[in-house]
Amino acid sequence: MKFVDEYRDTGLGRKLVERINRISTKPATMMEFCGGHTVAIMRHGIRQLFPSHIKLLSGPGCPVCVTAHHDLDQAIALVQTPGTIVTTFGDMMKVPGSESSLQQARADGADIRIVYSPHDSLEIARNNPRKLVVFLAVGFETTTPGVAATILEAERTKIENFCIKSLLKVCPPVIRALLNLGEVKLDGLICPGHVSAVIGSRPWEFIPEKYHIACAVTGFEPLDILLSIDRLVEQIEKGEPKVETTYTRGVRPEGNLRAQKLMEHVFEPCPAQWRGLGTVPASGLKPRAEYSSFDADIRIPVKVKAAVEPKGCLCGEILRGIKTPPDCGLFSIRCTPENPVGPCMVSSEGACAAYYQYGR
Amino acid sequence: MCLAVPVQVVAVEGDEAEVDAGGVRRRVSITLTPEVKVGQYVLLHTGYAINIIDEAEAKETLKLLEDMLRLDEASR
């Protein structure tokens, strides 16, 4: 496949690994923020290619994994509200809340439909005029422009029985929050490629400037990832952190301005709860006042009890990069993809699921 | 979750396009990339083309990588 196979060349990959191992002398602890990168790194066995002073840690860049228990409980309460149909991405179905999951709620009779695109919700709304269709919007800046476009189309085509429960989040504030915690000492950061396709590479510039951490924005094929590690190692060796993009085919410094404009037109920043990190100011997005008829929190507010977190689950620590999945006592024993305890085992891009599938 | 795949645009019709996704034809929204032309590749995410793939940059990355490795070998 074009723009895929060229970046899987094993000959070039091998030479690149040799080069990285040759130029690297200093300890280099790097975090891949994005769950998609975690999966690619595990699938291609990239962690094992380097000596122990080059470390790769998984970060909080999995929208399903970082969804807080409280928000999940609200989503589950929402699907149990009579007269609603909830649409969502498949990854959300098995994530356990305090007492139940969307999958359990569906088995108990709730009308939940898995969609490929937020846009599919509009067709469901048209076909079910007496029901309120609520799209459970989970995602980062990659996903949000499509949700914004869906809301604008609902407005234009006068679909009134549609709204979203926004669990949408933005990435730069949470990276700042993670670095401010100071628990994990990073030398380099692999920045999310498809978030950057939308927001550009410039929003990461505060990381080398303020935290002196090397940054590489990269794609998801093995050569993309190896090239980003090479760039990070070189920056670390020179002691000159900056933002380098090794995914210039998909990421421009300014990003996709039209997508950003749509996003800003429909949504405004709000505080958001992140699993493991708590409430982070301005790290969430909700529909602006003029689009409040599309906001489930305003249209059908639900109340839930205080969330009950599963005992022994280390998802929070894993998302902060201070523990790895094998550190968790539940990993692969009580917590498996078939019977997940925490969300990092549910999402196909969760660190625990990736370690379970490729790393054991 | 932020998975996006490169697909080729084969036809454009208003704010939608028909794309070839590894042999499968699909209709996708190009409302985020209205300037896309037939023949170009886009990054497809949840039914939306979120960016146009820059073919020249794609080649440049590979060329830079090959040049860097060649230079590396020559200097050893």
Tokens linked to A79: 């699907």
Mean pLDDT of A80-105: 94
Q: According to the model, what pLDDT value does residue A359 have?
A: 82
The CATH number covering residue B28 comes to 2.30.30.140
**A231-250 residues touching B, CB cutoff 8 A:** 246-250
Chain A: give the shortest CA distance to residue B8, in Å: 9
* C-alpha count within 13 angstroms, C-beta hemisphere, residue A262: 23
Sheet holding A162-168, edge to edge: A112-114, A84-88, A132-139, A162-168
pLDDT category at B75 given cuts 50, 70, 90 is: confident
Residue tagged 């100011």 (tokens): A281
**A117-138 confidence digits (pLDDT tens):** 999 999 999 999 999 999 999 9
Where in the sequence is the domain holding B17, given as residue range(s)? 5-74
**A133-188 confidence digits (pLDDT tens):** 999 999 999 999 999 999 999 999 999 999 999 999 999 999 999 999 999 999 99
Q: According to the model, what pLDDT value does residue A258 have?
A: 98
User: What SS3 class is residue A164?
Assistant: strand
Q: According to the model, what pLDDT value does residue A268 have?
A: 98
Chain A: give the shortest CA distance to residue B45, in Å: 7
- A2 to B41: CB separation less than 8 angstroms, yes or no: yes
Which residues from A are below 8 Å from B34, CB to CB? Answer: 258
Reply yes or no on whether the pLDDT at A360 is more than 80: no
CB A350 within 8 A of CB A35: yes
**A240-291 confidence digits (pLDDT tens):** 999 999 999 999 999 999 999 999 999 999 999 999 999 999 999 999 999 9
Calculate the dihedral angle through the C-alpha atoms of A172, A342, A225, A261, rounding to the nearest 10 degrees.
-30
Mean pLDDT of B40-59: 97
**B60-72 confidence digits (pLDDT tens):** 999 999 999 999 8
**Mean pLDDT, chain A, integer:** 96
CB A20 within 8 A of CB A188: no
Q: According to the model, what pLDDT value does residue A282 have?
A: 98
Q: According to the model, what pLDDT value does residue A100 have?
A: 92
Provide DSSP, chain B: ----EEEEEEEEETTEEEEEETTEEEEEE-TT-TT--TT-EEEEETTEEEEE--HHHHHHHHHHHHHHHHHHHHT-
- The residues, any chain, with a CB within 8 Å of residue A201's CB and separated by 6 or more, are A191, A217, A243, A245, A251, A252, A253, A255
Nearest Cα residue in chain B from A350:
B1
- Is A19 part of the contact surface with chain B (CB cutoff 8 Å)? yes
- Nearest Cα neighbor of A145 from A222, A259, A40 is A259
Mean pLDDT of A216-233: 98
Provide DSSP, A247-305: -TTT--TT--HHHHHHHHHHEEEEEEEETTTEEEEEEEEEE-GGGGGGBHHHHS----P
Reply yes or no on whether the pLDDT at B22 is more than 90: no
Which letter does DSSP use for residue A183 in this model?
Answer: -
Q: According to the model, what pLDDT value does residue A342 have?
A: 93
- Nearest Cα neighbor of A88 from A110, A61, A60 is A110
Strand B5-13 with A162-168, pairing:
unpaired
Alpha carbon distances (Å) from B50 to A133, A258, B2:
25, 10, 11
Which letter does DSSP use for residue A169 in this model?
Answer: B
- Nearest Cα neighbor of A58 from A335, A323, A333, A341 is A323
Q: According to the model, what pLDDT value does residue A214 have?
A: 98
Q: According to the model, what pLDDT value does residue A21 have?
A: 96
Which residues from B are below 8 Å from A1, CB to CB? Answer: 6, 22
- The span from the CA of A316 to the CA of A46, in Å, is 24
Alpha carbon distances (Å) from A293 to A78, A125, A143, A166, B39:
16, 15, 21, 13, 39
φ, ψ dihedrals at A324, nearest 5°: -110, 160
User: What SS3 class is residue A86?
Assistant: strand
Nearest Cα residue in chain A from B32:
A259
Q: According to the model, what pLDDT value does residue B4 have?
A: 95
Alpha carbon distances (Å) from B13 to A67, A149, A153:
37, 17, 17
Beta bridge partners of A114: A88
User: What SS3 class is residue A333?
Assistant: coil
B65: nearest CB among A36, A140, A223: A223
**B6-65 residues touching A, CB cutoff 8 A:** 6, 8, 22, 29, 31-34, 41, 43, 45-48, 50-51, 53-55, 57-58, 60-62, 65
- The span from the CA of B1 to the CA of A354, in Å, is 13
Which residues from A are below 8 Å from B23, CB to CB? Answer: none
Position with higher pLDDT, A309 vs A207:
A207
Mean pLDDT of A58-75: 95
Q: According to the model, what pLDDT value does residue A247 have?
A: 98
Mean pLDDT of A223-227: 97
User: What SS3 class is residue A214?
Assistant: strand
Q: Which CATH architecture has domain A1-295?
A: 3-Layer(aba) Sandwich (3.40)
Q: According to the model, what pLDDT value does residue B13 have?
A: 96
- Is A222 part of the contact surface with chain B (CB cutoff 8 Å)? no
CB A164 within 8 A of CB A296: yes
Mean pLDDT of A330-349: 93
Reply yes or no on whether the pLDDT at A309 is more than 90: no
Reply yes or no on whether the pLDDT at A109 is more than 90: yes
CB B19 within 8 A of CB B42: yes
Q: Look at chain B and report how many structural domains it folds into.
A: 1
Which letter does DSSP use for residue A323 in this model?
Answer: S
Other CB atoms within 10 Å distance of the CB of residue A73: 21
Q: What is the ipTM of this complex?
A: 0.96
Reply yes or no on whether the pLDDT at B76 is more than 90: no
**A14-33 confidence digits (pLDDT tens):** 999 999 999 999 999 999 99
Taking CB atoms and an 8 Å cut-off, how many pairs form between chains A and B?
135
- Nearest Cα neighbor of A95 from A349, A278, A300 is A349
φ, ψ dihedrals at B29, nearest 5°: -85, 135
Domain segments of chain A as ranges: 1-295, 315-358
